[in-house]
């Protein structure tokens, strides 16, 4: 699957809503579990808070090197927090790159990042698993991120079977 980061903040189009029965069908066909959706949302929100709360501003984080260094520290901190709970998202380069690309374009590069609540609402909307109408682009992002996150859990399951 070719990963596409959707510029959700700019491309929301509520006329493209997916109906409840289509959402249920999509969840079933993609084996999307509510518990995992909640877990992946927690990871995304924790990453957001680490990035936002430790960001010193453009005067200190102003080069690609500094941006990636800050992002790496924040991402690593979230990985450690989940690993302490025996949930291993290490070695998932696709997950790392997805969030790096998103935050690089939507947080670090603009002259002034949006308020934290803007990003928090975005992740909550994406990872919402209620069956009410949902914009197609948010459902697509949920499915894509779910599959990316799942690679970590599936890898662990395969490793346990081998041992």
DSSP sequence for 67-129: HHHHHHHHHHHHHHHHHHTT---TT-HHHHHHHHHHHIIIIISSSSPPPHHHHHHHHHHHT--
Rg (CA), the chain: 16
**Which tokens go with 26?**
């999509």
Residue 10 has pLDDT above 90, yes or no: no
Q: For 25-69, write each residue's pLDDT tens digit.
A: 888 888 889 999 999 999 999 999 999 999 988 888 889 999 999
Q: For 115-145, write each residue's pLDDT tens digit.
A: 999 999 999 999 987 767 778 888 899 999 9
Residue 87 has pLDDT above 90, yes or no: yes
Confidence of residue 156 (pLDDT cuts 50, 70, 90): low
| CB-based contact 100:71 (threshold 8 Å) | yes
pLDDT of residue 131: 61
């Amino acid at each position: 699957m070719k990963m596409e980061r959707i510029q959700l903040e700019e491309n929301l189009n509520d006329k493209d809503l997916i109906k409840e029965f289509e959402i249920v069908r999509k969840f079933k066909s993609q084996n999307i579990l509510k518990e995992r959706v909640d877990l992946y949302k927690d990871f995304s929100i924790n990453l957001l808070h680490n990035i936002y709360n430790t960001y010193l501003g453009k005067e200190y984080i102003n080069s690609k090197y500094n941006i990636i260094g800050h992002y790496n520290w924040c991402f690593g901190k979230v990985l450690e927090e989940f690993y302490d709970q025996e949930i291993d998202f290490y070695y998932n380069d696709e997950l790392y790159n997805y969030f790096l690309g998103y935050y690089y374009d939507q947080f670090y590069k603009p002259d002034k990042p949006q308020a934290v609540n803007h990003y928090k609402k975005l992740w909550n909307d994406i990872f919402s698993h209620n069956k009410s109408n949902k914009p197609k682009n948010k459902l697509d992002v949920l499915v894509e991120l779910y599959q990316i996150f799942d690679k970590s859990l599936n890898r662990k399951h395969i490793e346990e079977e081998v041992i």
